Amino acid sequence: MAAQTLFEKYGGFSAVSKIVLSFYDVLLDSDDVGPFFDDVDMARLIDHQTKFIASLLGGPASYTDEQLYRLHERLDLEDRHFDEVVATLAGTLAKHGFSAEDVATVEARLEIRRSVIVRQNVD
């Protein structure tokens, strides 16, 4: 029998939807990250983010590195922005009952994608 994914363990899409809404409640109030969401179709973004977080949890959705790069390339995100997003997601997951070990697993899965999301300085 296959091991249970974090997606299954924590309640599937209905739980992930609640997590994403809580996540954006915090991010939209951020002085550093909030402005990235000005003039963004939030309903569409929440749908995409729900699928992305579901994929981080081992759920059925997935994004390729190329898709993630294309979605973020125009934003000029820096490491500090990425760090804030990771910390916000970690805090949100903890508030929604994720164990510290499972939060660390999700953080590691997100960290792997840093190089395709954050602007790479070429000197």
In order of 63, 82, 90, 93, the CA distances from 98 in angstroms are 23, 21, 9, 5
**Mean pLDDT of all residues in the chain?**
93
The angle at the Cα of 102, spanning 100 to 107, to the nearest 5 degrees, equals 90
Q: What is the CATH number of domain 10-117?
A: 1.10.490.10
pLDDT beneath 70, residues of the chain: 1-2, 121-123
pTM (predicted TM-score): 0.91
The pLDDT of residue 123 is 47
The pLDDT of residue 1 is 64
The pLDDT of residue 121 is 59
Q: Where are the domains of the chain?
A: 10-117
The pLDDT of residue 30 is 95
